[in-house]
Every structure is written in structure tokens, then in C-alpha cells.
Structure 1
Amino acid sequence: MTGTHREARSLGAGLDGVGTMTLIALRTGWKGLAAWVLALVGVMALTGASIGALYDTPEKIRGYAESLGGDAMAVLNGRVAGLDTIGGVFANEFGFVLSFGLPLMAIALTSRATRRDEEAGRLELLLAARIGRRAPLLAAVLVASGAVLLTGLGCGAAMAAFGADPAGSLLYGLGIAALGFVFVGLTAVAAQVVEHARAVWGIGLALTVVSYLLRGVGALERNALVWVSPHGWVDEVRAFGDARAWPLLLALVVGLVLVALAFRLLDRRDVGSALVQPRRSVARASTALRTPLGLAVRQHRGAVVGWTVVGAALMGVYGSLAQAVIDVITENRALGGFLGADVEAAAEVVLRTVMSTFLMMLGMLVAAFVIAGIGTLRKEEESGRLEVGLSSSRSRASWLGVHVLVVLAGALVVGLVGAVSLGVTTAASLGDDAWVADVLEGSLAHGAAVLLFAGLAVALLGWRPRWHGLAWAALAAGAVLAYLGPGFDLPDPLLDASPFLAVGRDVVGEGASTTGVVVLLVLAVLLTVAGFVGFRRRDVPVV
């Protein structure tokens, strides 16, 4: 056989049954895929409808560009080209959702059809039939890539429908898809490196935050760090400014290289294993691991460390922007005239509102940690380990109670470290140590929102464990409503439906809402109790 024939055969080897695997991935995962696409396109459509109504004249759009075109906003959403156009305004308002929504979508869809199926043992059964070794991975990449492309085109269509330049909207939509495709490739690689789906998620989240921060620092300093970040490539497309398409090619090439690397790594490992093997256990467990509490701490500690680092890094960057926010307000003549004579006092009021927004984002992060942590308990049930644990004299309530306690303790660590990071960096930026106490006090309010989502996750685990995704849906709805709702001038009752706004709109400046906090705490207790009751009554496991 010639070298050319060998090469062609090796490239196509293991791809038998790609069509079948693609159909299986669509058939079993179409609900989650549709939810991601509709949610992100829906947020863009909501942004277009609301922002288009608010900024309906060139003068208003120009004022928006003058107010939000500074360095402080560049760190959050990058330097959006064409901010003096309605398309640029749409892109800027959608920027934060884009920065995390598309990568998380890519991670969720890709990991589900790769490492998650392999970890559950389903992939090994499929490969026992006439399915090639590489077919499941290629099918996962195709489905996830198609989903992010559909999302990008849908977002672009929504922007054009509400008045943005059609060509710029299409280019921006392709930029969204390009960002998602890069993270599809990154997730595919991670699925070959580590053995568990939660580790894939950890790597994906870490890379998302790193990319986001690199883009922000690069945009602030106007240096080459922007080109190290896939998020920065979307900005460099400049869809609504001096548009250029070649950064899309960069993202496409990087994504294809990552997918090729994933296939190469797949060929180097066995089914069910990973390139990085878990550390081997010792012959005898330590005294701590022989207790339910010690075992639960061991199970959740990696997630606690990872989420804590992410929260501290994000809040540290945000806190360092404090002086930049003050400078944007005091140096902008238009804003100065609007705020009145005492611009510095007004600037501090605005800064407190901004810090409240950052704490709200930290609350969302901690709530996501709690939902993910309680969600891992479902894996204990699916794997059969829960049945073994309950076969002794240990009660269901004690097993669940210990895990919920450890997850909530981890949430306290993640939230506290993040709040300290925000407070310390804010104080360092402004040269005022009083900000540390102010930020820490304001962060306490969002604990009620976190407990509510913990209660919801426990209730779902207790009664309908297969519906755990509803907790994520509730978090996404609450986050979008809290982040975009006030800018859209939505009615107060609707805004208060978001737990992150119910605790108070300005927790650093005006303080927490006592009524909102009490209501959330009562609901959290009721949901948690209901979850324990349901867990005690239902069968284990529930398929």
C-alpha cells in the first residue's frame, strides 16, 4: 500500500457511523440544544427591542457612545467598534451575555456528547456496535458547531430586524459563532485530557474567564493581549466600524486545529480513561475520609478551589476599575453637566451602584456553584454509589444534609473570597480602606439569593432529579432579568421577580431590602425542607 493510500485510510479510520451518532446526539439532546439557542437569540431580540426604543435618534446614540465609550467599559465588554451606531449599541449591551453565554453553550453541548456519555458507560456500548472510534467525537463537534452557528445567525438576524446594519449584523453573528466554535474545540480537547465531566466543565470555565480577562486587560491597555483571547477576536472583527473578516478565519483555523488535536489525543487513550489519570488512592483511607463529612469535603473541594479562584480573579479585575469609573464621570463634560455641580459626590454614588452590580455578578457566580455542586449528587445516584452508601445504617437525610452543608460552606468561601477581592482592589484603586467594609456588607444581601437557588436545586433533587436543568433555567432567567432589566425600564414587579434584584438594587449605596431578603430566605427554607421530604419518600435510584 502506498504512503498516500495509508494517509487517506488513517484520516478516515474510525469514522464509521458518524451519521448515526449525529442523529443520536440530536435525538437525545435536542431539548437542551434548543433551549440554549432560543435563550441566547431571545436575549438578543429583547436587547434589540428595548435598546432600539430607548436610543431612537442619532443624538441619543451619540450620547450613549460618549458616556460608555471609556476604558472602564472596555474592560467589561471590549472595545466595540461603531459604538455611535445602533448596531454598536446592541453589541455593547449584549457583550457580557456573549462573553459567557456562548462559551458555556459550547462547553455544555460538547461535553454532554463526549465525556459525559463516556463516563456513564453509554459510549462503550455504542462502540461495541458498528460505530467507529472517532465517530462520537466528530458527531459531538458537528452538533455543537451547528448550534453555535445557528445561534450566531439568529442573533445577527435579530440585530438587523431592530435597525442594525444588515452586513454588520451578519458579520457580528459570524463572530459569535466563531467564538463558540473555538470553545467547542477547547472542550473537545479537555474531554480527552481529564476523566470526569465536571473536570471538563472546570477547565472550560477557567479558560472562559482567562480569555475574558485577557481581552479586558488588552482592551484597557490597547496591547497585543487582545489577540491572545478568542473574545478579543470578536471585537477585532469590528462589525459595525471598519469591518474586516480575517479575524473570523483566525478563529476558524484555531478551532479546526483544536478539533484535530482532540482526535489525535483520542487515538492515544482507551475508552473510559483519560490522558491525565486520577491520582491513585492509598491502601487505607484517612480518619477524615472514613466519616461522611470528610468524604463530602473531599468530593467537593476541587470545585470549591476552582470557583474561588475564578471569583477572586473576576472581582479583582472589577475592583481595579474603581478609579477608572470615577475618572470617566468626572472627565466627561456631558455627564458632568447632567449630574450637576458636585460631580465628585455624584461620581461616588454612581460608583456604589457599579459596585452593587459587580456584587450581583458575584452572587450569580456563587449561585451557579451551588446549583452545580448539588447537581453532582445526581451523579452519585446514577453511578450506583448512593445505593451502596445507603445500604448501611446511614439515613437518607443525613447523607443529603452533609452534602448540602458542605456545598453551602463552599459557597460561603467562594462568595467571601470574591467579596474580599473586590473590596480590597477597590480600596487600593481609590486609596480608601472604608470600601472593604462597605463591599463586604453589601455582599451579605446576595446570600439570600444564593440560598434560594440552593433550595430550588435541593427540591428538584428530592422530587424530580431529572429536572435539575430547571434550576439552571431559573438562574439564567434571573440573571438576564437582573442584568438587562433595569436598562430596559421594565416594571418594578417584574424586576423584583429576579432574586438578584429582590435583595436590593443598590446594596452598596442604599443597603439591602429587608423585605426582599426575608422573603427569599423563607422560600429557601421551604424549598429545602420540601427537597428533604421528597428525597426521603422517592425511590433511589430514579432512572
Structure 2
Amino acid sequence: MGTQGVGTMTLIALRTGWKALVVWVLAMVGVMALTGSSLGALYDTPEKIRGYAESLGGDAMAVLNGRVAGLDTFGGLLANEFGFVLSFGMPLMAIALTSRSTRRDEEAGRLELLLAARIGRRAPLLAAVLVASGAVLLTGLACGAMMAAFGAEARGSFLYGLCIAALGFVFVGITAVAAQVVEHNRAVWGIGLALTVGLYLLRGLGALERNALLWLSPHGWVDEVRAFGEPQVWPLGLALVVGLTLVGVAFWLLDRRDVGSALVQPRRSVPRASAALRTPLGLAWRQHRGAVVGWAVIGTALMAVYGALAQEIIDVITENPALGGFLGAGAEGMAEGLLRTVMSTFVMMLSILVAAFVVAGIGSLRREEETGRLEVGLSAQRSRHSWLAVHLIVVMGGALVVGLAGALALGGSTAAALGEEVWVGDVLAGAVVQVPAVLFFAGLAVALFGWRPRGHGLAWAVLAVGALLGYLGPGFDLPDRLLDASPFIAVGQDVLTQGASTTGVVVLAALSATLTAAGFVGFRRRDVPVG
């Protein structure tokens, strides 16, 4: 039950996962650097910063990014603009780094082999927590140093960097607990994603109503540190205590279960499968249905909140033309143009979420290969192409469900907020324009699975770059050629105003078909399982 061998396990975690760790750290720090350099050029005088602060007095921005103290300083401005990336980026980083060395290794059977050596029962979990915690701390301090380098106040930058690390550490603890509770890594991710979105929305509701709900979310604790206002350090202590308590609970739960099992056991199977489950399509749907439901709920919740606040967001941006320029809106037809620009951004965010679902769904096929279930399935006179095609159909059908649910939530809540039913159809039409971007990522994921399954992380990297260019690029006045490299912009930069880009749609459709075909060819030619 001891922790002997924790040093060895830490070295193993670093040796096998250093690439992912470096990518996460560089990505977060890179976004901060890009944000700082762009905002420094846009808000280069105290008057502009003061105007920015005066324009953000509405509740809409409080729901999206919390009530950030010190908005009349460059540091507060930077923290507010980085807030959305922080709210989702750090939790996802913590989940990815913690789960890979705990539940993922245990599910694959690697952890049991390591424990057969002179490795204590608790050593792998402790090593995973140490590595993930070190990574989030490094990220926080580096982001704080980056803020100071761009002109933010040094003490506030350091405190905000600790806030970044504190949010990540809480989710390290959450993931460590989830890894003891459920048996599959995808379930750990499901719990982590649900809590990320739920706590984010809880913080928003607490900030909107100015009540105690704010204190139920670690996102809210970041705001209450008030790094660039009148700072108070004790919320950082609260995050530290909660994170350590969660880690302690994870160890307590670890001692009360067997290796390879979980506290919540999967439902017992019935002696005989249903007729639908005995078909390839039914079996594939059984595998992916949980992810479809989870992603659909997440997308619906987020889009419903964004749509409900559409008018308030427009009011805020209309009062600050510089902020409208940052979001990529022109001066002509400011009111209507800003409204459609913001809604186009929300539609793009929905397409990013759907693309992430697709990449995750196709990536899950690798686990079928690693666990040996794929070989069993192919032994029953079934071709590789038919197996992959069925799973691809189910994943893309799930993408349709996730996208349709999110689009209806966004369009419906916007129509209710503005009193204009036309927004339901407009949002649905804009979502259709984004379909080629989603298909491109499906093709990329299939190509990687067919030729190099271990390189699936490349699909996530391309998605991350495309999402950042799509979300931040227009406001940062980046070159058009660079912006068009993002599939989400290639289909049309403002889909609700300008419609689709014919060239972008054709190119992405051709790339999608080519990559998908290449993936099927590669899957037919390579070994199963591949090393």
C-alpha cells in the first residue's frame, strides 16, 4: 500500500508523456502571448483601457468570464480576454495529464504489470498527481511572467499565474477521484468535461446574481483573488485545500478497490444480447451512445446560455467600437453587423465542439484495437472496411445529433431573447455551412487511424490550432492567408452575414474525401494490432 517506487513512476510518466505535457504548456502560454501582444497594440493608451472597462458593466460578460477586478488596468483587461481560454483550457489540460497515467494505463493493463515489480500500490497515482500538478504550476507561472512582460502589473501577474495553477490543481484532484470511481478512461473524461462545463456555468450564474453560488465553483475562486484589483490571497488557499482533499479522497478510494476495477462497476450484461446488439451497427451505437448523449447535453447547455445573452453581449460591444473591432466586426451597420458577427462566432464555437466530438469518437477506435476486441470482431468473416465504415457512420450520426441539438438551443434561445423567430433558421443555416470543417477533421482522424494510430494526437493539435485561429484570429488582425488555414474560417469568416465561401467549402470537401479514402486504404494495408 506504500509509495515506494514513486520516483521511478514519475520518471516513467515524464518519459512516456513529455510530448503531451510540452504541447499543453506551450499551447496555453502561447495563447497568453498572442493575446497579450494583440491587446497591447489595440489598447495602447490609458483612455482606451478605461473605455474598455466602462463598456463591460453589463451582466452578459460577467456570465461569460466572471467579474474580473481591475478592468481599468491592462492586467485586468488581459485577464478578462484570456478568461474563456482559462476556463476550459486548464481543466482539459489537468484531465488529460492526470488520466493518461492513471485510468488509461490501468485500463490497458500496463499498470498491473508495473505493480508486479517493486512499485507501491499508491506510487502510480502519486506520480501522476505530481507530474500534472507540476505542469499546471509551470503553466501558471509562465503565463504570469508573460503578462508582466507585456506590461501588466508584476504582483498582479504573479497572483493571476497562481490562479491559473490553482484552477488546474483542483481539476487534477477531480480527475484523480474520477479515475478511482469509473472503470474506463472515456468515463473519466465524461465526468471531467461535465464538471468543467457545469462549474463554468455555475460561476456564471453566481456572478450574474452576485450570490454564494460563485463559491461553489473553482472558476469563481479565480475571480475572487482579484489579482489586478484589491488582491486577497485566501481563495488560493481554498483551491489548494480542496485540491489536496480531492487527492486524499482519491488515495482513500484507491485502497478500497482492486487493480483493474473501479468503485462503480459496469452494469451486468444479460445472458443473451438483443437483436439490435447482434448487428454491427447496433454494437457500434452501444459503444458511442454515451459520448453522443454527453456531448449533446454539454453543447446544448453552452449554446442555450450564449443565445440567451445575445442582446446583452451586443449592447456591451456596441458601446465599445474598439471591442467590436477586436471581435472582427466592421464599422458599417454596427448594430445588425455586430449581432450577426457574434452569432457567427457562437456557431463556429459549436462547430469546434462538434469537431472535438468527432476526433474523440474516431480516436476511441484505437482502444478497440489495443484491448484486442477489434481482432475478435474481424475474425467473424467481417472485412476491415465494413467495420470502420459502420463506426464512422455512427460517429458522424452522433455529430449530427450534437450539432443539431446545439444549433437548436442557440437559435431558440436567441430567438426568445430577441423576439425574432428568424434566428432559428439563420443559426441552422450557419451551422450547415460549418459542416465541411467538421468533415475535414473526421477525414484527418480516419487517415491517422488508418496509417498511424499512435499519431492521433496530431488531429487534436490541428483542431486546437484551427480553433485558436478561428476564435482569436479575426480580432488579432492576422493575415488572411493565416486565418484561412483554419477550417472554421475557410468555410466563411462570417457565415451569418457573408454566407459560405465556395472555394473553402470545395477545398475542404475534397480534402475530407481524400483523407477518408486514404484512411480506409491504410487500415486495409497495415497490421492489426499495430505497434
**TM class by smaller structure:** over 0.9
Change (3 A) 1:335 1:464: closer
Is 2:91 the partner of 1:100?
Answer: no
Aligned residue identity for 2:8: T
Percent identity over the alignment? 80
The count of residues paired between Structure 1 and Structure 2 equals 525
Is 2:178 the partner of 1:184?
Answer: no
Matched residue SS, 1:123: helix
Contact 2:350 2:403 in 1 (8 A): yes
Is 2:30 the partner of 1:42?
Answer: yes
Contact 1:457 1:468 in 2 (8 A): yes
Please report how far the alpha carbon of residue 333 of structure 1 lies from its aligned counterpart in structure 2 after TM superposition.
10
Is 2:499 the partner of 1:515?
Answer: no
1:353 to 341, 345, 351: 341
Report the Cα distance in structure 2 between the residues aligned to 1:335 and 1:40, rounded to whole angstroms. 23
Determine the structure 1 residue equivalent to 2:155. Answer: 167
Aligned residue identity for 1:302: G
Q: Deviations over 1:381-420 (max 9, x none)?
A: 1111111111121111000000011000000000000000
Please report how far the alpha carbon of residue 335 of structure 1 lies from its aligned counterpart in structure 2 after TM superposition.
9.2
Report the Cα distance in structure 2 between the residues aligned to 1:46 and 1:207, rounded to whole angstroms. 28
Please report how far the alpha carbon of residue 66 of structure 1 lies from its aligned counterpart in structure 2 after TM superposition.
2.7
Determine the structure 1 residue equivalent to 2:8. Answer: 20
Determine the structure 2 residue equivalent to 1:420. Answer: 408
Please report how far the alpha carbon of residue 331 of structure 1 lies from its aligned counterpart in structure 2 after TM superposition.
6.7
Q: Deviations over 1:69-126 (max 9, x none)?
A: 4322222111111111111121112111111110000000000010001001111111
Determine the structure 2 residue equivalent to 1:77. Answer: 65
Report the Cα distance in structure 1 between the residues aligned to 2:304 and 2:405, rounded to whole angstroms. 10
Change (3 A) 1:333 1:18: closer
1:284 to 259, 264, 272: 272
C-alpha RMSD of the superposition: 1.7
Determine the structure 2 residue equivalent to 1:500. Answer: 488
Determine the structure 1 residue equivalent to 2:359. Answer: 371
Change (3 A) 1:334 1:293: closer
Aligned residue identity for 2:245: V
Aligned residue identity for 1:374: I
Please report how far the alpha carbon of residue 510 of structure 1 lies from its aligned counterpart in structure 2 after TM superposition.
2.5
Contact 2:318 2:334 in 1 (8 A): no
Aligned residue identity for 1:249: G
Contact 2:52 2:320 in 1 (8 A): no
Report the Cα distance in structure 1 between the residues aligned to 2:462 and 2:319, rounded to whole angstroms. 40
Aligned residue identity for 2:11: L
Report the Cα distance in structure 2 between the residues aligned to 1:75 and 1:382, rounded to whole angstroms. 42
Report the Cα distance in structure 2 between the residues aligned to 1:535 and 1:331, rounded to whole angstroms. 55
Q: Deviations over 1:46-88 (max 9, x none)?
A: 1112211221111121222233443222221111111111111
Contact 1:370 1:453 in 2 (8 A): yes
Report the Cα distance in structure 1 between the residues aligned to 2:161 and 2:414, rounded to whole angstroms. 35
* Higher alpha-carbon deviation: 187-196 or 352-361: 352-361
Determine the structure 1 residue equivalent to 2:441. Answer: 453
Report the Cα distance in structure 2 between the residues aligned to 1:49 and 1:430, rounded to whole angstroms. 35
Report the Cα distance in structure 2 between the residues aligned to 1:244 and 1:510, rounded to whole angstroms. 47
Determine the structure 2 residue equivalent to 1:6. Answer: none
Is 2:370 the partner of 1:382?
Answer: yes
Report the Cα distance in structure 2 between the residues aligned to 1:375 and 1:332, rounded to whole angstroms. 43
1:534 to 517, 522, 530: 522
Aligned residue identity for 2:43: Y
Q: How does 1:143-542 map to 2 (within 5 A)?
A: 143-328=131-316, 346-542=334-530
Aligned residue identity for 1:78: G
TM-score normalized by the length of structure 1: 0.94
Unaligned runs of 5+ in 2: 325-330
Report the Cα distance in structure 1 between the residues aligned to 2:323 and 2:100, rounded to whole angstroms. 48
Report the Cα distance in structure 1 between the residues aligned to 2:344 and 2:209, rounded to whole angstroms. 25
Determine the structure 2 residue equivalent to 1:118. Answer: 106
Contact 2:51 2:320 in 1 (8 A): no
Report the Cα distance in structure 1 between the residues aligned to 2:129 and 2:469, rounded to whole angstroms. 31
Contact 1:353 1:506 in 2 (8 A): yes
Determine the structure 2 residue equivalent to 1:10. Answer: none
Change (3 A) 1:163 1:365: same
Report the Cα distance in structure 1 between the residues aligned to 2:432 and 2:54, rounded to whole angstroms. 34
* Higher alpha-carbon deviation: 20-29 or 111-120: 20-29
Report the Cα distance in structure 1 between the residues aligned to 2:525 and 2:431, rounded to whole angstroms. 36
Report the Cα distance in structure 2 between the residues aligned to 1:247 and 1:330, rounded to whole angstroms. 34
Please report how far the alpha carbon of residue 329 of structure 1 lies from its aligned counterpart in structure 2 after TM superposition.
5.3
Determine the structure 2 residue equivalent to 1:60. Answer: 48
Change (3 A) 1:374 1:335: closer
* Higher alpha-carbon deviation: 80-89 or 360-369: 80-89
Unaligned runs of 5+ in 1: 1-12, 337-342
Please report how far the alpha carbon of residue 345 of structure 1 lies from its aligned counterpart in structure 2 after TM superposition.
6.4
Report the Cα distance in structure 2 between the residues aligned to 1:56 and 1:335, rounded to whole angstroms. 13
Change (3 A) 1:460 1:510: same
Contact 1:69 1:83 in 2 (8 A): no
Please report how far the alpha carbon of residue 327 of structure 1 lies from its aligned counterpart in structure 2 after TM superposition.
3.8
Report the Cα distance in structure 1 between the residues aligned to 2:62 and 2:339, rounded to whole angstroms. 16
Q: Deviations over 1:494-522 (max 9, x none)?
A: 11111111111211222222221221111
Report the Cα distance in structure 2 between the residues aligned to 1:202 and 1:444, rounded to whole angstroms. 27
Report the Cα distance in structure 2 between the residues aligned to 1:192 and 1:258, rounded to whole angstroms. 11
Aligned residue identity for 2:460: W
Matched residue SS, 2:27: helix
Report the Cα distance in structure 1 between the residues aligned to 2:337 and 2:227, rounded to whole angstroms. 34
Please report how far the alpha carbon of residue 344 of structure 1 lies from its aligned counterpart in structure 2 after TM superposition.
13
Contact 1:330 1:344 in 2 (8 A): no
